[in-house]
Structure 1
Amino acid sequence: MAASIPEKSSVNEETQMQDVEKQSDISTEPTTALDPNLIGWDEPEDKDPANPQNWSSGKKWLNVGILSFITFLTPLASSMFAPGVPIVLEEFGSTSSTDATFVVSIFVLGFGIGPLIFGPLSEIYGRLPVYHICNLFFILFTVLCGVAQNMDTLLAVRFFAGCFGVAVITCGGGSIADMMPPQERGGAMAIWSVGPILGPVIGPVTGGFLIDALGWRWVFWLLTILSGTITVIAFVGLSETYAPVLLARKAARLRKETGNTELQSNLATDQSKKAVFATAIVRPMKLLVCCPIVTLMAVYISIAYGLLYILFTTFTFVFDDVYNFGPSTAGLSFLGAGIGSLAGMFYVGVLSDRHLKKIIASGRKPTPEDRLPLFLTVPGSLSLPAGLFIYGWSTNYAVHWIVPEIGTAVTGYGMMVLVMCIQVYLVDAFSIHAASVIAANAVLRSVLGALLPLCALDMYEKLGLGWGNSLLAFIAVALAPVPWIFGWWGERLRTNPKYQLNL
């Protein structure tokens, strides 16, 4: 994982611990190698305009903005027609409680499959081809959702829409790591991270009114229009950011201009494309299974995400039964979680980078664990169960609807803080393979986000809203110390030679 050829060539002369420290260095920019046939960034590296980290602020934020809108749009599709699920079930003649939740959450199950393919592909062929191809297929399957004539077809095309829609969610963190230095990364990750949380919240709000006015199929026509528009903008405005691909193109151009066939990127590998693909395609699962940091963080955030999706997939039914909300007003029940998520985004986005800049100003080199300070992780970890307790018992006793909304806002705040802290931590710890580590995290998170809600309505029926949500809150309490522990002792585990992987 070393970032330059001089480091690679001297690896046999260094100790294993030094090699481990290089692998976990949050700076992974390539440097120009001593061998004149190895091509890197022009010297000085911090001035080379071809290096994405040296792009103008305008160009960087244009790319972040486009990626952020797509990461908002695809999760929006996951739940936008949730308020219309009872209408869909009636139209297709289904009375299954499993269908009622699965038709929403199967989209998220697709989120669990796509990262295994698109994350590694982005580290072979670059981010841009993956984005463009997946955006086009997402549009196709969204259209097919709109014309579905039975529940089986709707479930199938929703699954594939999720598979292709997850590309930017999987690779966007890698693109941000490509462009942004660590001390500026938190704010960009905050904007990008809000989509997967806020999309499923805003979707039902707008979807409820749209379904009331035009019917549930118009949800997919609106998504097609929005996704088609941003896809055109992406073709024009997005730029490739992945350093190995950019340097490979530079080497190819110089070979053509100079006639020197020996020129190659200093990040090039001697492996064939087939071998590179075989290595890359198993990398997310290798990280998930064999790297304790990725495993434990993924388990934690996945369970938290699953708990949140239990709420998202049942809001319509709970607020209909308890407060007699119709399709449009049931959509408004998602606003509490949205407001809380925005609060969490601003809290982490501002304080995380400010904390890192203070460390740099003090003369200490920051580590990935500096992304997990207690003033961020403690409020996030405790807000998640606190909100679940408030929501559960207030709905159980039919307290005024504003009280459960406050509960969902607290839960949304905690969820956003946790997602952002953990994702930025993993990106900083595995910068050169950021897309793969985000993919590993997304796989388990999406699977649990899709499957846990399947038992939600049955759980509420047997335990009630009070004890049912309390059970979820107790699980969140038990997991709360996980990010605190990694903030204290994560570096020891991360730099332990026993857990280093050949990625």
Structure 2
Amino acid sequence: MAFATKKQSSTKARNATANNTDMHLWKYDLRLPQLVDPAADNRDQSILETGRPQKTEPENIKLHPAENPINWPARKKWSSTIILVLMVANIAFCSSIHAATVEGVETTFKCSKIVAKLGITTFLIGLATGTLCFAPISEVWGRLLVFRFTLGLFVCFNAGCALAPNIQALLIFRFLSGFFGSSAVANTGGALADIWPQSHRSVPFALFATGGSLGPVFAPIVGGFISQALTERYVTTLTQPWMMLFTEPILFTLGLYSACIWGILYLNFTAYPFVFQTERKWDQGVAGLSLLGITLGMTIATASSPWIDDIYCAYTKNLKGPKPEARLPHLIFLAWLVPVALFWFGWTATPPTHWMVCISAGVPFGIGFITLFLGANAYLTDCYGRFSASALAAHAVMRLSFSGTFPLFATRLYDELGTPWAASTLGFITLAMAPVPWLFYKYGPKLRSLSKYHIWTLELEETERESE
């Protein structure tokens, strides 16, 4: 009995020591639980009552089996892996390609070689800084959202490097491009771990390492040949679409208008099936047939191209020559078909209106879309002549950017606002832009007279006529 009593006393002494130690630690760390658990008040109460923090489990997010990347089919896993590896290789490539352009930077901006080399340093500092930011953010908000946000800015700031007016701007843009490009470097490893089970990660991670290693090696080689081959004339040509996009009111306004129409078209590819599945309870396959109205409208517009040429020829005579504004008369009227179609679709999409009435709204939308697209391209080509390729490239950048962005919020838009007001919101946007063809028809000659690219086109054409 004496031995047992001694043992119990020893046990109590050890427990008392442990409790005192824990209380000593928690006296300084009482705020830590509040940082990781919203139920901090309960935990603090538990500490006061028991002297020890209450044990909690981290939140477990359960995914549907089809949404879990581990369960993706092999084809989707490998395609995602290749995209991730190419992203890393691209960032790594950009980190060192500046080394091949140091002499060009030194000459262009009249700076020392040391300052010219800072483009590499600033990019890598941005890369290191961004890695510390975007890795933990991706663990809270997910990889995809971080990639979408940062890599778009990475492209924009790289374009800023190409257009930098001085060495200070170049170094700032290099830092920012490295900062936002770091998301690919920081999160690709985690993304691959999300996709592949441990037993299959060797090859994907080997590709990841290879992409990150070979990118900086090949960049100076490629950059050296580019720097050697491209003169100032070619450098100007490569940056010309960006310069035209932000300095030409005609190109920017018409590009924004076309981009909105294209964005709404791609939004409709998601919205139409969604509306017919939710409002009319059609199955997925049949709901896709709702897009046939838009298809029919596009077909009608394409088939009517010969009549559009007749309109152009008639207005060419009225305008006393082949002027770009002769491409616009039919657009002045057909531009209104797009907002009409959107309002029509929105307010007839729900029962008891017959489904044919709703699908028929796609016909005027398809007609308006094709005629606006073809008319805008023809007008820009006539305006900019020799520079039309750069103008159309800038025009395409805006179109494709909106086309890729609009579908992301299609379902949310229709779900939150309801079909009538979601479609009406898009209708009001296109309604505000419908007068654009008329404005260009009326004020186009004055705007073209202020365009240096249009003036250069006229001078080149005049020189060619004189040489003949």
The TM-score normalised by the length of structure 1 is: 0.44
Asked which structure has the greater CA Rg, the reply is 2
Question: Which has the larger helix fraction?
Answer: 2
The TM-score normalised by the length of structure 2 is: 0.48
